[in-house]
Chain A
Amino acid sequence: SYELTQPPSVSVSPGQTASITCSGDNLGGKYACWYQQKPGQSPVLVIYQDTKRPSGIPERFSGSNSGNTATLTISGTQAMDDADYYCQAWDSSTAVFGGGTKLTVL
């Protein structure tokens, strides 16, 4: 079965750039999405179709996808971005999620 791999944790200082990776076989040949989840809340879509931001998502969130790796980049990270982030893609009519990355802003 298809797998997506994320680092368990990433740390960043406020105002700096955070990058969260998601790796999978030929992931660049699929569309990747990213979700943000804060404690006790439902996930929120922050990036879809590799690079697109839904309405209401700040411009500091951006995405890329090439080769075997998709990347979520948060520029000028703020304390409110402290959360879990999940990547997701489709493989053979099955949705697959990465294991999640805990982003700590400190």
Chain B
Amino acid sequence: QVQLQESGPGLVKPSETLSLTCTVSGDSMGNYYWSWIRQPAGKGLEWIGRIYNTGSTNYNPSLKSRVTMSVDTSKNQISLILSSVTAADTAVYYCVSLSSTGSFDYWGQGILGTVSS
């Protein structure tokens, strides 16, 4: 079973860049695709994007201009970069495995990313 652990700075200033890393363990990265999903406090889930082990990506159109995802299979890590952040980007960010059926099977515990000066 896959285990996912998010890490990164918890606090970022407005207009700066949020950088998060997800470390994968428990199974081969080649068996899955990967996504980032976020959830503002008290609100619903928002899909950020997905990445395949080949590096191919799809992003949420509403965030596409500010998002970059990458994968490093040698380190078993997936990365998320969100640029030009505002307070609206404050949320819990989840690293999630995406199965071939299109479902989000395994979720990390989530990491709170706060945008504040």
CB-nearest residue of chain A relative to B64? A94
Judged by DSSP, the binding face of A is strand
- B30 interfacial by beta-carbon distance below 8 Å: no
A42 lies within 8 A of B109 (CB): yes
| Chain A residues touching B, range | 20 to 34
Given A1-B61, A42-B110; A99-B101 close (CB under 8 Å) = no
Q: How far is the CB of B64 from chain A (nearest CB, A)?
A: 10
Residues of A within 8 A of B76 (CB): none
Q: How distant is the Cα of A1 from the Cα of B62 in the complex, in angstroms?
A: 10
Asked whether, in the complex, the Cβ of B44 is within 8 Å of the Cβ of A86, the reply is yes
By secondary structure, the B interface counts as loop
Asked whether A45 lies within 8 Å of B105 as measured between CB atoms, the reply is: yes
Q: Is the CB of A95 within 8 A of B94?
A: no
Q: Given that A31-B102, A33-B103, A94-B58 are contacting pairs, would A42 and B94 also be in contact in the complex, using a CB cutoff of 8 Å?
A: yes
Residue B45 interfacial (CB < 8 Å) = yes
User: Which residues, 50 to 87 on B, are CB-close (under 8 Å) to A?
Assistant: 50, 58, 60-62
Interface range on chain B (Cβ under 8 Å from partner): 20 to 34
Residue of B nearest to A55 (CB): B1
B35: interface (CB < 8 Å): yes
Contacts A31-B102, A48-B101 hold; do A43 and B47 have CB atoms under 8 A apart? Answer: no
> B residues within 8 Å of A by Cβ?
35, 44-47, 50, 58, 60-62, 94, 99, 101-105, 107-110
Question: For the complex, what is the distance from the CA of A1 to the CA of B46, rounded to whole Å?
Answer: 14
Question: In the complex, are the beta carbons of B104 and A45 less than 8 A apart?
Answer: yes
Is residue A96 within 8 Å, beta carbon to beta carbon, of the partner chain?
yes
When C-beta atoms are compared, the residue in chain A nearest to B46 turns out to be A97
Residue A58, interface by CB 8 Å: no
**Which residues of B are found within 8 Å of A96, using beta-carbon distances?**
47
5 contacts between A and B (CB under 8 A): A33-B102, A33-B104, A49-B103, A88-B104, A95-B60
Q: Given A1-B61, A42-B110, do A99 and B44 touch, yes or no (CB 8 Å)?
A: yes
Q: Which residues of A contact B104 (CB under 8 A)?
A: 33, 35, 43, 45, 88, 95
